[in-house]
């Protein structure tokens, strides 16, 4: 059913005792002339009549939350939703259901004796899978609140942290609107927010013996954490230039991507240039952050509908992470390791240039829209820890500060492999709020012993609101293109307000953050292992002083344990690689400081993929 174009699903019950029955369709705001349309949906029913009657005007229930209170959702103002009682275990006289149209909402009126911050917790049921709702205060904003799946839980009812709200003295309204829809809201708990405790973050990093400049970067971030200041950042060097030309300011951080260095993109002609961009921005005294839109190592769909360059999406390949991790001697596992080695090669270039990196791999995993998150938290965590081991123990990377990008506890790789926690914020248009719910969730996830950040934002948070909410985000990085260059997400006047705010730290505010820090690393990895399957299913291994291959058809038998050693089958034989040896298809064949094979096997040629640093047999 739709009323003036606003849709809502109506449940028509199965009639067993008589031919005709009635179904409640909800409450709607009508104007002078209105249209009600009933569409097929399941079909196979009769409709006899529609009864329209004025909704009884119940007095608005105002909940005094000055000292904390529980507000029953069913007592709120309902728009397109109804009160349900069929799912046992709810509080009060019922719960609110029927969130299926975009405008469906429940609004609760709260009274506060003074302007103050309050913590918000929502009692909900998500029996149709994990969902999100939009929460707004006094008709403004639209923070996304995550309702974790309760489908298989012993109790369908659970609580979700919704962050904080700043209530005015007097009456306020808090509304919950569909967003994903298909959930129940039972009750909202409002309690006065305690004064924030001092953060417990120390200067220790998870990688041992980092470069002095890596420690200097973290120390700079830490020195401002909790001070009411936030470091500014912008994705892509081209959009840094746009900010400089149109706003007149330069952000402190540039966000870059290792995407084009993915070997399955290089295969189709991609040429990465972001390392050069990092070197350029570092030379200006800026800070560098990286994510990796990792094109799947193999099994790309690659058709007219889903081309190869969408290979980082879940639908872009059939690469089964769980199966690959369970088969460490398989070709796909070897390709996965080889992909990591290709990116390590680029990170080693930055290490050689004494450039530290805020490294954010496997980002947004719990969204499951990328292949590394498509097979659940266990596989994703195993992959993250495998990468950490490979980069730290095998390649000896000491210029990385490891950033994890999820608020969901079941996806967390562990305190021992994470330095910084982050959330990618893309709220509804016009919402420049503090992202309070996710801030509180990350503080809890890291036990307030990790820095928390906004590695990607669509809408930049308003620095004035951040201070009111004590939301001590360390830094933000605005996404590129339309998110920064147009009026849609961040109007020019707002961008000017943000970048003229003295608490928003820019490139000119960094000072000599590196100090006298210089590299103590030769930036050379430990000996790498290439394992090539032979026709007799034995393994032939070779060692070299390379930064490892970019993409190889060989099979690696490296285990996913935390050991830096590489296991080999009993039939493996070892031989020393030299410049006279032959490199396999996809293997590295040249580049700066390369000491391995430079001759490619028959049918392939040594191609400079990222000159002068990296050449590959293609």
Helix axes 331-352, 274-283, angle to 10 degrees: 20
Distance CA 100, CA 182 (A): 6
Report DSSP letters for 503-557, one per residue.
TEEBGGG--STTTT-------PPPPEEEEEE-TTS-EEEEEESSS--SS-S----
Q: Retrieve residue 586's tokens.
A: 């996809």
Q: Retrieve residue 555's tokens.
A: 């099979």
Does 601 qualify as catalytic in the annotation?
Answer: no
Count of other CB atoms within 10 angstroms of residue 14: 6
Half-sphere exposure of 123 (CA within 13 A, CB side): 19
Does 456 qualify as catalytic in the annotation?
Answer: yes
Q: Enumerate the β-bridge partners of residue 83.
A: 96
Given the residues 364, 482, 485, 601, select the one marked as catalytic.
364
Question: How far are the Cα atoms of 82, 92, 606 from residue 89, in angstroms, in the given order?
Answer: 18, 10, 67
Contact 433, 141 (CB under 8 A): yes
Q: 3-class DSSP state for residue 126? A: coil
User: Exposed, middle or buried: residue 192 (CB in 10 Å: 0-12, 13-18, 19+)?
Assistant: middle
Residue 173 host element (H or E): strand 170-177
Note if the bond before 487 is cis, omega within 30 degrees.
no
Distance CA 369, CA 389 (A): 25
Given the residues 72, 74, 236, 456, select the one marked as catalytic.
456
Distance CA 437, CA 354 (A): 37
Q: 3-class DSSP state for residue 45? A: coil
Contact 556, 334 (CB under 8 A): yes
Q: Cite the active site residues.
A: 364, 456
């Amino acid at each position: 059913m739709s009323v003036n174009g606003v849709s809502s699903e109506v449940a028509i019950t199965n009639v067993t005792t008589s031919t005709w029955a009635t179904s409640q369709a909800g409450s709607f705001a009508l104007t002078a002339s209105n249209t009600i349309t009933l569409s097929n949906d399941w079909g196979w029913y009769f409709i006899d009549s529609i009864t329209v009657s004025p909704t009884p005007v119940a007095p608005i229930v105002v909940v005094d939350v000055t000292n904390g209170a529980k507000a029953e959702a069913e007592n709120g103002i309902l728009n397109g939703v109804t009160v349900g009682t069929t799912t046992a275990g709810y509080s009060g006289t019922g719960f609110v259901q029927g969130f299926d149209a975009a405008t469906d909402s429940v609004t609760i009126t709260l009274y506060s004796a003074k302007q103050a911050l309050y913590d918000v917790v929502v009692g909900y049921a998500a029996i149709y899978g994990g969902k999100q709702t939009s929460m707004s205060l006094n008709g403004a904003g639209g923070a996304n609140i995550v309702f974790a799946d309760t489908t298989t839980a012993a109790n369908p009812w659970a609580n979700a942290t919704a962050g904080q709200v700043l209530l005015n003295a007097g009456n306020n309204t808090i509304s919950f609107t569909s967003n994903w829809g298909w959930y129940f809201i039972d009750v909202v708990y409002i309690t006065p927010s305690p004064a924030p405790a001092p953060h417990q973050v120390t200067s220790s990093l998870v990688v041992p013996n980092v470069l002095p400049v890596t420690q200097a970067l973290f120390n700079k971030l830490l020195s401002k954490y909790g001070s009411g200041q936030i470091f500014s950042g912008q994705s892509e060097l081209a959009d840094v230039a746009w900010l400089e030309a149109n706003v007149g300011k330069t952000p402190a951080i540039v966000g870059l991507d290792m995407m084009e260095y993915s070997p399955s993109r290089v295969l189709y002609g991609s040429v990465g240039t972001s390392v050069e961009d990092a070197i350029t921005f570092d030379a200006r005294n800026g800070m560098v952050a990286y994510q990796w839109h990792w094109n799947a190592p193999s099994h790309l769909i690659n058709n007219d509908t889903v081309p190869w360059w969408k290979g980082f999406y879940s639908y872009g390949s059939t690469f089964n992470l769980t199966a690959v991790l369970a088969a460490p001697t398989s070709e796909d596992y070897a390709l996965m390791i080889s992909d990591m080695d290709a990116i390590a090669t680029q990170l080693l270039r930055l290490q050689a240039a004494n450039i530290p990196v805020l490294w954010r791999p496997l980002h947004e995993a719990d969204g499951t829209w990328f292949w590394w998150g498509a097979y659940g938290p266990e596989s994703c965590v195993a992959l993250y820890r495998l990468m950490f081991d490979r980069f730290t123990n095998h390649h000896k990377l000491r210029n990385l500060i490891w950033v994890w990008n999820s608020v969901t506890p079941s996806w967390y790789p562990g305190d021992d492999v994470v330095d910084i926690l982050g959330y990618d914020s893309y709220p509804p248009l016009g919402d420049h709020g503090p992202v309070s719910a996710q801030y509180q969730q990350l503080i809890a996830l890291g036990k307030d012993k990790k820095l928390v950040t906004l590695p990607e934002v669509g809408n930049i948070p308003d620095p004035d609101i951040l201070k009111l909410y004590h939301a001590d985000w360390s830094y933000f990085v605005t996404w590129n293109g339309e998110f920064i260059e147009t009026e849609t997400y961040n109007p020019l006047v707002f961008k000017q307000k943000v970048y003229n705010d003295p608490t928003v730290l820019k490139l000119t505010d960094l000072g000599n953050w590196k100090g006298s820090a210089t590299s103590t690393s030769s930036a050379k990895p430990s000996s790498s292992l290439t394992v090539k399957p032979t026709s007799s299913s034995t393994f032939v291994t070779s060692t070299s002083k390379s930064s490892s291959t970019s993409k190889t058809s060989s099979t690696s038998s490296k285990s996913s344990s935390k050991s830096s050693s590489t296991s080999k089958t009993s039939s493996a034989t070892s031989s020393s690689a030299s410049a006279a040896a032959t490199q396999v298809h996809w293997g590295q064949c040249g580049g700066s400081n390369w000491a391995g094979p430079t001759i490619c096997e028959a049918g392939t040629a040594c191609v400079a993929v990222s000159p002068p640093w990296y050449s590959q047999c293609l």
